[in-house]
A and B are shown apart, each in its own frame.
Chain A
Amino acid sequence: MAAAKKLMSVSRDWRERDVRVVLVALIIAVATVATIALFASQLQRTLVSSASSFLAADRQLEAENGRPVPDAWIEEARRRGLETGQMIEFSTMVFGESGFQLVSVKAVSDEYPLRGDIEIQSSADAPRMVVSAGPGPGEIWINPRLLRLLELDIGDTLEVGSLKLTIANLLIREPDGGFRLSSLAPRVMMHVNDVAATGVLQEGSRVEFVYLFAGSDKALEDYYHWLEPQLEASHEWEGVRDGETFSRSLERAERFLLLGGSLAVLLAAVAVAVASRQYALSQRDTVALLKTLGLTGQGIGRLYLRRLALWGVAGVLGGLAVALPLFWLLVRMLSNVLERPVDVYLDPAALTPALLTALVSLFAFAYPPIRRLRSVPAMRVLRAQPGETSREAIPDMLVAIAAIFCLVWFYAGELTLVVSLLGGLALLLAVLALTGWLMVSVLRKVRGGGNAWRLALVGLYRHRQASMAQMAVFAMTLMLAATLVLVRSALLDDWQAQLPDDAPNHFLINIAPDSVDEVEAFWAERDASLDMLYPMVRGRLTELNDLPVKEAVSKDERINALNRELNLTWMAELPEDNRLVEGKWFAPGVTKGVSVEAELAERLGLKLGDRLTFTIGSEKLTEPVTSIRTVQWDSMKPNFYMAFPPGSGLTEMPGTWITSFHLDENDKTLLNEFSRRYPTVSVLEIDHIIKRIQEIVKQVTQAIEAILALILAAALVVMAAVVSATLRDRQREGALLRTLGGQQSLLVRSTMMEFALLGFFAGVLGVLAAEVSVYVLQMRMFEGEFRWHWQVILPIPLLSAILLALFGRWQLRPVLSVSPMLLLRRLE
């Protein structure tokens, strides 16, 4: 079947314009989806491992009751193939030659850290080094501040309890040096096997045993499943996603990637659908001839199905050939941003969406119009038959809509996203149909203007169906692109606003009430202004409406806040970044009531008026809930679950003060002076955490920009596909106009004007639709605040008008460059 085979060969197909568009669309679809999927899974992995390093592991199990967990638990974890490690954290006095100091000790096993790394210095002037294991037995690594406080040197001896350890390195950064209020004093790190010899851990000492686990998500899940029934209240299982500070950044990044993925799918689908319909239309003559020559409808079906399969294979292979280098490039970029090598992780599962996209694109978008070729009448060889009516394409559209719905759902995995996205698109299409109809009717009545203007209007009217379809696609493409750009900047602004360059990066804790003023003055003199100072009283929430709280709350909820002491405060005014969601803030002079953080309130099932009882030392304090407020956990400022009014019972309780402030890296030596003057005040340095968060933000931004570029490329193909659909008609008309004596300049002007009008209206509609969808997304998904983007409402339509006018001019080239005679014959 040499001839018939040749009819189906992809290499021959490639020479046909419409097939080229279908194949390019398919390749871009597969490439976009594959790149996004691969990169998203890589990013996810990198982000999670980045975030995991905050735990120094994938999961941590903390025993706050001062007792190690049974060995069997650790054995079981190893048996399940998990990596394990151990830490013991406690506070103690250490003694140097010239004095002593309270330190916070972290004793680590050989495996520490399972994730992330440690930064050290071999002397105060030596360059910083990154190492992947802690100190060996007999060694101790200490915070540089301690070196100065105790006037020690590297190589000196430090006594921890009854054990003498050699100071081997300065400890600059530990991966899990996060927010632990237990780590108030300068940090020292030693080997876990040395702890027993120090003799400092006695029955009843305040000590935390922490166990580290790393491994596959599945193994970790399974292990937790096994472990959970045996856990006691004092045990806390912590994963990356529980960490309040980072989970939001991660979640938002994830959602954005998903959204980008869905939009790419949508654009690809539109491109494939448009181009293949065009292809099917162009094949009608061939099909009629083949039928005349005796090929049955079934034979036609088989012929084109085989062809479609070949396209699928070519599309997938071509798409992957584009995606893999692109992905590799993105990973390179990622490691540049992170300033560390990133392992390329080629997730085989990430190829599934690409294959699925190719399959669905072919069978839901390309196949329906091609399938209908079977019913092309053979009579067409003798006489032009009425072409397809748009009514015949309705089932295609239904199939396409269903497929889009399923695909986007598959990608986003979230019904809200799918419904709001597709709902927005449906609304846009409806508005478009109406506006397009109105526009065409109104423009038709417009009089005046030159010949070119009149021709442009006539052109728009004559192609009104095509014009409306093109406008719809342009507007949709613009909307998707604009939505992405707007959401991207909203996300970035959001992050930047959370972590400005002068974000607080140090906490002062344990400030005695009578030295508050002095501390404030100390920093004011040195040009570092403290944020709000908050009083802090440690207390436990023990009763809810006079019932013990653990009975009052559903057993299913494991609420960390109930297992530990809470930091209680009082404040006169609602902090700037908190928002009231229920109730009223304390009026001046009010001394009763408590304001509860919204998420905790929800988990505890609290309503306004519920009575909360706190146990503070030996005292009890009972207050009704008078308001519920949200808190910005990632603001790097002191945040509180429970806030009381000034003058409440809490003010009578013993407490200390806390504040945060920004200190430049160059001024860090001020901390030594401060610590010497106020030895009881603890300084918590979180500047490296902030740096890490900014790093993540940078990483995600890069990813978002890369994905944006891919999606815009897909959008361009859609545009090309749609415009090429009317190319032949337009060229024929142009040739006719020239034959009839129309001047080239008239043709050029009228065509450019027609396209400019199209572009302008599409731009206006696209931007408006984008605003609506951004509004929905912001409100629903990103929990951000919405504002209008006035600055883009005019530029985008103008830009799209100019671009389309140029595009129209460009596609006129063949009409202008050859004689009308030749052109007419060629187009026959």
Chain B
Amino acid sequence: MNQMTDLRRVDNSPMLRVTGLTHKVRLETDTLTILQGVNLEINRGESVAIVGRSGSGKTTLLGLLAGLDTPSEGTVELDGSEISSLSEDERAKLRARRVGFVFQSFQLLPALSALENVMLPLELAGIGSPEKRARDLLERVGLGERLSHTPRQLSGGEQQRVAIARAFASDPVILFADEPTGNLDNRTGQSVSDLLMDLNREQGTTLVMVTHDESLAARCGRLLHIEAGVLTEPDTAWEKTD
């Protein structure tokens, strides 16, 4: 069970440790600072919501935390790996085995069926019998009857369910969600977020979510604010409203 231990360390080291994270973008005339000295630790199994207005830098932060981009300064340590020092390909391999994503715009491949979309990360990670696992997950998200449908034939809520099934397919240790209900109406958003939170709890995954849906943020164990590239954490625990 070495591998298992490796993947899901039970030690107390944080799942995510961010130190002095700064991100700057060079424009034609000057340099724009998007993130300024962010320090953050997220423990295993925690669920964290990052809220902030448009342009506050939250999407950039999410991208850096997930290793989709590299910071100008500072370090990001994900599950014990210092990802800012890894090459792009090494980061991709890390993502394949340990990271799941849910996006605002679903990001399903239009040419593939629901089943195939869920199978894709399993195949990329080289995980055995991908079809069975994909079927099970789609059953779990309530789309057992829609396996062969392509994204175009599914509603927005259904597409996001497929995306959630995909996110959990490779059994990730951490899940990043970018406005997962942002493109859905209230009711659908509610049921999608229920599904996301339930699965997260079942799988014991660490969840990092960017949102400005306050009710969704409220369901997370921890709430962070970001404004003008600076991350702050309210002193008091968030009072659950629902």
Contact = CB atoms under 8 A, between A and B. Distances in A.
Interface of A: 1-4, 6-7, 12, 15-16, 285-286, 289-299, 377-379, 381-383
A299 to B, nearest CB: 8
B123 A1 contact: yes
A2 B125 contact: no
B69 A3 contact: no
Contacts of B99: 294
10 contacts: A3-B120, A4-B124, A15-B111, A16-B111, A293-B124, A294-B99, A294-B170, A296-B93, A298-B89, A378-B68
Contacts of B89: 296-298
A348 to B, nearest CB: 38
Given A291-B68, A294-B95, A382-B63, 10 more contacts: A2-B123, A7-B112, A15-B111, A286-B109, A292-B68, A295-B96, A296-B89, A381-B68, A381-B103, A382-B62
B146 interface: no
B159 to A, nearest CB: 13
Of A1, A12, A377, A379, most B-chain CB atoms within 10 Å: A379
A296 B92 contact: yes
B120 A377 contact: no
Nearest to B66: A292
Contacts of A379: 63, 68-69
Interface string B129-158: 011000000000000000000000000000
B63 A3 contact: no
A295 B59 contact: no
Q: Which of B59, B107, B119, B125 has the most CB of A within 10 A?
A: B107
Chain A at the B interface: SS class: helix
Contacts of A290: 120, 124
Contact of A297 (B60, B92, B95, B97): B92
A467 B63 CA distance: 36
A295 B92 contact: yes
Nearest to A297: B89
A298 B63 CA distance: 21
Contacts of A286: 109
Contacts of A382: 59, 62-63, 68, 103, 178
Interface string B181-194: 00000000000000
Contacts of B101: 292-293, 381
A274 to B, nearest CB: 23
A3 B95 contact: no
A267 to B, nearest CB: 30
Nearest to A13: B111
B116 interface: yes
A12 B131 CA distance: 20
A8 to B, nearest CB: 11
A382 B61 CA distance: 11
A13 to B, nearest CB: 9
Contact of B88 (A3, A7, A15, A297): A297
Given A2-B116, A377-B68, A383 B92 contact: no
B180 interface: no
B121 A293 contact: yes
Nearest to B112: A3
**What 3 A-B pairs have minimum CB-CB distances, sorted nearest first?**
A294-B96, A3-B116, A296-B89
B62 A294 contact: no
Most chain A CB inside 10 Å of its own CB: which residue of B99, B109, B120, B178: B120
Interface size class of B (residues with CB under 8 A): 20 to 34
Nearest to A5: B123
B84 interface: no
A2 B92 contact: no
Contact of A293 (B96, B116, B178): B96
B194 to A, nearest CB: 24
A372 to B, nearest CB: 14
A2 B131 contact: yes
A1 B127 CA distance: 10
B111 A294 contact: no
B117 interface: yes
Interface in B48-65: 59-60, 62-63
Contacts of B92: 291, 294-297, 299, 378
A759 B13 CA distance: 67
B69 A377 contact: yes
Nearest to B64: A379
B150 to A, nearest CB: 11
A12 B110 CA distance: 11
B176 to A, nearest CB: 9
Contacts of B119: 2-3
Nearest to A298: B89
A293 B103 contact: no
Nearest to A4: B123
Contact of A12 (B111, B124, B125): B111
A291 B109 CA distance: 13
Contacts of A297: 88-89, 92
Nearest to A294: B96
A377 B121 CA distance: 18
Nearest to B118: A3
B132 to A, nearest CB: 12
B109 A7 contact: yes
B76 to A, nearest CB: 14
Contacts of A295: 92, 96, 124
Contacts of B123: 1-4
A242 B204 CA distance: 89
A7 B111 contact: yes
A294 to B, nearest CB: 2
Contact of B93 (A16, A294, A377): A294
A383 B179 CA distance: 12
Interface string B67-90: 011000000000000000000110
- Which residue among B68, B94, B96, B116 has the maximum number of chain A CB atoms within 10 Å of its CB? B68
A327 B125 CA distance: 49
A15 B111 CA distance: 9
Contacts of B124: 4, 290, 293-295, 299
Contacts of A285: 107
B109 A378 contact: no
Contacts of A292: 66, 68, 95, 101, 107
Nearest to B96: A294
A383 B104 CA distance: 11
B111 to A, nearest CB: 6
A393 B111 CA distance: 28
A749 to B, nearest CB: 34
Contact of A289 (B88, B107, B170): B107
A4 B69 contact: no
A50 B123 CA distance: 63
Contacts of B96: 293-295
Contacts of B68: 291-292, 377-379, 381-382
Contacts of A7: 109, 111-112, 120
A822 to B, nearest CB: 13
Contacts of B62: 382
A291 B116 CA distance: 17
A296 B89 CA distance: 5
A68 to B, nearest CB: 78
Nearest to B117: A3
B47 to A, nearest CB: 20
Nearest to A826: B152
A18 B218 CA distance: 45
Nearest to B122: A3
A383 B59 contact: yes
A826 to B, nearest CB: 10
Contacts of A296: 88-89, 92-93
A786 B20 CA distance: 75
B178 to A, nearest CB: 6
Nearest to A15: B111
Nearest to B152: A826
A304 to B, nearest CB: 15
B69 A293 contact: no
Nearest to A380: B68
Contacts of B109: 7, 286, 289
